[in-house]
Amino acid sequence: MGTLAVGRWRARVGRPGGHTESEFEFARDGTAMLVVGGTGSGTWTQTGPDTFSYRINEELTEAPGTIEIAQDAVLRGDEFVSNGNAVVRLANGTTAREAAIQITAQRLG
């Protein structure tokens, strides 16, 4: 599992059309939570000495469904940069949209 990403992170999420701010928490047991800028949960896994991946399903606020976030990250000190995609999936399982996103984060405390 690893301890590489364990902690709370303030993130800048870059997506088509702009940026938003979020906070993530990665726990020792491999769980991942989106705690600011939305709510969601998932998992994270250390993939190398300075790399990890995470997957989080964020609850949609404007309609029933989720945003599926899938990212691969590189850690440098107390910062990471991750790249991947986000898929907006409606409650009936159809894909409403998909976009490439980049997340830059700093460890808090």
CATH code, domain carrying 28: 2.40.128
Instruction: Split the chain (109 residues) into runs of 10 and give each run's mean pLDDT.
Output: 88 92 96 95 97 96 92 97 96 94 94
pLDDT at 2: 74
Residue indicated by tokens 């979020």: 22
Range of the domain at 76: 7-108
Alpha carbons 56 and 19: distance in angstroms, whole number = 18
- The amino acid sitting at 74 is V
Contact 13, 34 (CB under 8 A): no
**What is the pTM assigned to this prediction?**
0.92
Q: DSSP string covering 62-81, please?
A: SSSEEEEEEEEEEEETTEEE
Asked if 35 and 26 count as a contact pair (C-beta separation under 8 A), the reply is: no
Asked if residue 64 is part of any domain, the answer here is: yes
Looking at the domain assignment, is residue 2 inside a domain? no
CA distance 3 to 18: 31
Q: Is residue 35 part of a domain?
A: yes
Residues in CB range of 69: below 8 A, 6 or more apart: 34, 40, 42, 54, 55, 56, 57, 58, 84, 86, 101
Q: Measured between alpha carbons, how far apart are the two ends of the chain, in Å? A: 22
How many folded domains does the chain comprise? 1
Confirm whether 83 is domain-assigned: yes
